[in-house]
Chain A
């Protein structure tokens, strides 16, 4: 693994250094550089410090580990690969994600997983260990969003799943007090629902050293679009 000190390096230079390396990279003293590993398809990248916005945007297979918090727009439109954040994540994480996985140990900001989509074998997954801000999964069209609520705060803010028309959202617990739109179906997760995410939860547990039993001590709420009550005729009668 190649160590690269990126202190005071401009973001283009950081990416150039990663590209120039023939092996995996560990970046130290990272502070706010944007677009790190954007579009990258190979290498494992470990980041010490605080990476800037749009970390791993359009990621295409690389794996990124952040030892700390990440800022806004992580994994914007990512296609493949994995992003692991050992802390909290800012707003709009996994925006329009179309494949790959994002694991966040702590909380996510506003608008996590909005516009997430899926196609055939491309099924993006985001697992948030703490709680998520408002507008979680807004316009979700595919993929899986899992929130574990391990930090004890209210599991999600206002207006989750607004405009949701595909995919699945899992929220640990009974979601008392959370208001969902009328166009989604909210139920307690059945065994086959849980089977679909068990591998991801196992992966979360091994990444962050959390006991699986502590996570499965509670039931999960699963949210899917209500196909009998779809969004229609909002703007034109068609």
Chain B
């Protein structure tokens, strides 16, 4: 699927955002470099880029570096310098630090984003990339020429920032390696979640609440080994009264265990999120379902949006339109585990 369809889907959603941030994540777009981490970066100046490249060369083999193609349009202004690098960590560096590859890349991205003023990695997974800017999402898609990319999974988001600044790095999706999050809502529990997650080396640097969900999911799934469904039961845990009434004893005990083990990772406040990863995605509402979410299907495609109108734009004949309950995760994987 090219990016054209999802750009069009954002058009009837125009009034859901205010032009202070739009973005896309696309999976499967770099098949020729699928074994390399694709670092998408913003720089404030040429000198920052040069310095950062020196740093990158000390830690990575860079197989390709290039400007991310964009087109000049009146709706998108004040763009930073936007580059991408396809890289592999140097084996010697990994050996000396005794880190596995993913951990090293994740730490290096956080190091750049916290310690290198003017340089910002906004995407760093394999065979995927995010594209974001200050603007309306349909304009951001046009700016990045997303109709020229082919992927098997796309997510998109338009911001309407209420509590935090609108800036290029603050547009969604937020990423950590191949994880990307788009989020509609505001997280009342942000500080409690942030304090907990920062104990494990994650750093919240982006002046927005959404990134903490990305780190929570990474922590629960990659470090704690939970399934996506279990992680959903942690962040959108049912009320104790709802757990109490569960008749499936096994399910009941699991929920009691998860709420007891990870109380600081309960995410309260309204949210609907889509978590993209290599091979699939998970969509989830807060347990009270204070934000909207609709799912539809057609043939071998699944569509998820805040409004049915967005789905109908992509696929007028979409079938099985339904709304998941609050806290009920919708997990979609590419057939036969391809791309995982």
- Is B one of A's binding partners? yes
Interface set of A (CB-CB < 8 Å, partner B): 11, 31-34, 49-50, 52-53, 69, 71-72, 88, 90-91, 109-110, 133-135, 157-158, 179
| Residues in B whose Cβ lies below 8 Å from that of A91 | 289, 292, 323
- B contact face: mostly helix, strand, loop, or mixed: loop
Given A32-B12, A91-B292, A110-B289, decide whether A133 and B309 contact each other with a Cβ distance below 8 A. no
Given A50-B309, A71-B308, A134-B289, decide whether A31 and B325 contact each other with a Cβ distance below 8 A. no
- Of the residues B239, B309, B326, contact of A32 by C-beta under 8 Å: B309
Closest chain B residue to A71, Cβ basis:
B307
User: What is the total of A-B residue contacts with beta carbons within 8 Å?
Assistant: 57
Contact B307–A179 (Cβ < 8 Å) = no
| A40 and B245 alpha carbons, distance in the complex (Å) | 45
Contact with A along B95-138 (1 / 0, CB 8 A): 00000000000000000000000000000000000000000000
| Residues in A whose Cβ lies below 8 Å from that of B13 | 32
Given A32-B12, A32-B13, A134-B289, decide whether A90 and B309 contact each other with a Cβ distance below 8 A. no
| Residues in B whose Cβ lies below 8 Å from that of A90 | 292, 294, 308, 323
| A135 and B325 alpha carbons, distance in the complex (Å) | 12
Q: Which of B239, B245, B292, B310 has the most CB of A within 10 A?
A: B292
Contact with A along B304-340 (1 / 0, CB 8 A): 0001111011000000010101100000000000000
| A132 and B294 alpha carbons, distance in the complex (Å) | 15
Contact B307–A32 (Cβ < 8 Å) = yes
Closest chain B residue to A90, Cβ basis:
B292
A112 to chain B, nearest CB (A): 12
Closest chain B residue to A70, Cβ basis:
B308
- Listed from nearest, the 10 A-B pairs whose CB atoms lie closest are A32-B309, A32-B12, A110-B289, A31-B309, A50-B309, A50-B308, A72-B292, A109-B323, A31-B12, A71-B307
Contact A71–B289 (Cβ < 8 Å) = no
| A207 and B312 alpha carbons, distance in the complex (Å) | 25
Contact with A along B1-20 (1 / 0, CB 8 A): 00000000000110100000
14 chain-A/chain-B pairs, Cβ below 8 angstroms = A31-B312, A31-B313, A32-B313, A50-B308, A50-B309, A53-B307, A69-B308, A71-B292, A90-B292, A91-B289, A110-B288, A134-B289, A135-B288, A158-B242
